[in-house]
Amino acid sequence: MTLLETISGPDDLKGIPVDKLDDLAAEIRQFLVDSVSKTGGHLGPNLGVVELTIAMHRVFDSPRDTFVFDTGHQSYVHKLLTGRHDFSKLKKSGGLSGYPSREESEHDVVENSHASTSLSWAEGIAKARRLRGEADRHTVAVIGDGALTGGMAWEALNNISADPDLPLVIVLNDNERSYAPTIGGMAQHLAMMRTMHTYDQVLDWGKSRLQSTPKVGNKMYEALHGVKRGLKDMVYPDTGVFESLGIKYLGPIDGHDEQAVETALRRARDYGRPTLVHVITQKGRGYKPAYSDEADQWHGIGKFNPETGLPFEVSGRIWTDEFSDEMVALGVERDDVVAITAAMLIPVGLDDFAKKYPERVFDVGIAEQHAVTMASGLSYGGLHPVVAVYATFLNRAFDQLLMDAALHKQGVTFVLDRAGVTGSDGASHNGMWDMSICSIVPGLHLAAPRDGAQVREQLRDAVEIDDAPSVIRFPKGDVGEPLVAERRIGRLDVMKDAENPDVLVVGVGSMVGVALDVAQTLESDGLAVQVVDPRWVFPVAPELVELAARAKHVVVVEDNLVEAGVGSACVRAFREAGVAAGVDTYGIPKEFLLHASRGEVLTEIGLTADAITADLRPRLATGKDVA
């Protein structure tokens, strides 16, 4: 039996001798590589926190003490140490979540997959414990240097610093990266503090030399110590920004020296006041491909060969590729087009644009709110910014979209990747709210491309809009062959025509294929069916209203919340125009969806051609309309 197999919870970990902990760390890393190679997942972040997580569970008593991970993709080791060893269905239906999950374990508190929130959670938990007289319970927030670029983290630090007696431990996991290398002034600050750590290592070497060659070693040690003292006095009259805020600072500490981390955590625990433990870790530690020049690819990885590090599944062309290529083409033609990303340059497809036009790309870190308002300023200054984020992260910048971009009629284009059901990353990553929240923004234009060709065409349309925000949204995964329209009316495409349709099926974005399948089945029942792709869904096109007026029934299919989405907007537009047809709307129900594949989720919620036609047929057969 391996050491890892003996651990069913933190108490078992505490019983492992100190001299066996390095062996345990090696077993955990091997387990992670072997397991994630079969399922895909967040490998790099977890390889970097093995010793840190071991130390946390040896010092604190989870679940009585609370751990809040920011973000939760670094919680795989925590899962293992709390007895969850079956990774065979990681991120799949019925298997472990890729993030902490209250449904899985009492050791998981915050299902945290949106960054920069842990400090606010932890402050609230710590204050609640204090008010309830639970002085013997500790709260620990683990936040990466990447997540520390988010504004919400600094709002929390500002409040934490005003409560000097709050028993709260902050673990700053500093690996110089979020998805990609961390940027900004805080990153530079931490880099200088890491320099102090490097000098400490060199000084230790000098001490060892001193023992064997006193003259050389003594001079070297004194010289290096003087350099370190001079640098520290010049740059840090104290230990930096955290101490200035009144937060006790410990570090920097080698995050792969388990005993050093344990010692620091025990000190922090015993202080009984806000204390930050700065640990330096290496993302991908222990597996060479994961900390090579291609390390960014190992943040989240698909199935791969653990021997070679090469992927088993070579993906075809994905939706993001279409956007990426067209951005480069636009960059050649228009020098006013610039791009903004929130620490996701590669995942959202801006890396090629950045290589060609580095001065025209702004990575603001995990700061979506800042990104949108900054984009509004860039627009006012005469540029056309393209803000590329995952659809789920637009939620975080809604106020800025509404009050900065839209209110001021700024020409900003938002490109939302991973829109609709994404599946395996779970509830927080499904991009299912974007069209609903955008639907209430005055003046906003929103396009949902049905294929790669439309991504390119509609991106070009979007950057021509200079007096309002525009949005392009598309799903995750491979992009299929183009779906060719029979004709175009205004901005919308007629995908399947019928002169006097019984049913008008409106397919939105990636749901156009489903709409065509629905039409084929309904036609077999003897109904005349017309299928349209509105392309630009907000505002509702007058041409769509005219087509609806000619049909007996209208069916809207969208990969977004069924409430306040495209279907709702169509119902309202049809009613205002006096359209008599009944309208059936199909989309995502208002609930959080458990992790599973995209196909499984769509089947579960009835967003498939078979489910839609089965629901429609009884009403269409009787001629009963349902609005």
Catalytic (active-site) positions: 283, 368, 396
Q: Is 73 annotated as a binding residue?
A: yes
Element (H, E) at 264: helix 258-271
Q: How far apart are CA 418 and CA 428, in angstroms?
A: 12
C-alpha distance from residue 294 to each of 30, 236, 284, 290 (Å)? 20, 34, 11, 7
**Helix or strand holding residue 537 (H, E):** strand 536-538
- Which helix (H) or strand (E) covers residue 533, if one does? strand 529-533
Q: Do the annotations mark residue 368 as ligand-binding?
A: yes
How does DSSP assign 366-435, residue by residue?
Answer: S-HHHHHHHHHHHHHTT-EEEEEEEHHHHGGGHHHIIIIIITTT---EEEEESBB---TT-GGG-B-SHH
- Check residue 316 and report its DSSP letter: -
Contact 476, 349 (CB under 8 A): no
Identify whether the C-beta of residue 96 lies closer than 8 Å to the C-beta of residue 87. Answer: yes
Q: Is 287 known as a binding-site position?
A: yes
Q: What is the dihedral of CA 557, 558, 560, 561, to 10 degrees?
A: -20
Judge contact between 498 and 526, C-beta under 8 A.
Answer: no
Q: Is 418 left (phi over 0), alpha (psi -120 to 50) or beta?
A: left
Question: How many other C-beta atoms are found inside a 10 Å radius of the C-beta of residue 587?
Answer: 27
Q: Is 78 annotated as a binding residue?
A: no
Contact (Cβ atoms closer than 8 angstroms) between residue 346 and residue 179:
yes
d(CA 513, CA 11): 53
Q: Is 586 annotated as a binding residue?
A: no
* 293 has binding-site annotation: no
Q: Is 146 marked as a binding-site residue?
A: yes
| 147 annotated to bind ligand | yes
Q: What one-letter code names the amino acid at 300?
A: G
Residue type, 231: L
List binding-site positions.
73, 113-115, 145-147, 175, 287, 368
List binding-site positions for Mg(2+).
145, 175
List binding-site positions for thiamine diphosphate.
73, 113-115, 146-147, 175, 287, 368
